[in-house]
Homo-oligomer: A and B are copies of this chain.
Amino acid sequence: MKSHRQELWFEIPDRRGFVNITDEVRAVVRDSDVREGLVLVNAMHITASVFVNDDERGLLADYERWLEELAPHEPTSRYRHNETGEDNGDAHLKRQIMGREVVVAITEGRLDFGPWEQIFYGEFDGRRPKRVLVKIIGD
């Protein structure tokens, strides 16, 4: 069994944002030399997500608006977590909706994806460097 590990770093200039990281993950799969296996892609921070969906600008705007409805940023006093001095209580909730991780099959050395599947990094408390872990196991 082979294994391979790489971190991807992001610094989103705003509080929230989505980044298509499919090509970066593809490059790690290539480097791993794994032909058949699984790749785990997970946010290493608890106010960010990794998820699979469509790379369509309107949809990403819909996610932004919808998450803000489900778990509004303001008033920040809404969240007991913010009594610690943070203002990111909402980000911990948004991340649960969008998920921490995806596991993707590797088949014949490639991401085994349907026609529209793309991997995204979702940031809910940005403006500082944060990491995504890519871990591959297989043969």
Mask of A51-62 contacts with B, CB within 8 angstroms, 1/0:
111101111011
Cβ contact of A56, chosen from B54, B58, B81, B100, cutoff 8 A: B81
A-side residues, CB < 8 A to B, are 1, 3, 5, 36-38, 40, 42-46, 51-54, 56-59, 61-63, 66, 70-71, 79-84, 89, 92-93, 95-105, 107, 112-117, 131, 133, 135, 137-139
DSSP class of A's interface residues: helix, strand, loop or mixed? mixed
Q: Is B107 a contact of A131 with CB atoms below 8 Å?
A: no
**CB nearest neighbor in B for A65:** B80
Q: Is A135 a contact of B105 with CB atoms below 8 Å?
A: yes
**CB nearest neighbor in B for A79:** B62
Q: Is A63 a contact of B93 with CB atoms below 8 Å?
A: yes
**CB nearest neighbor in B for A5:** B107
Q: Is A62 a contact of B38 with CB atoms below 8 Å?
A: no
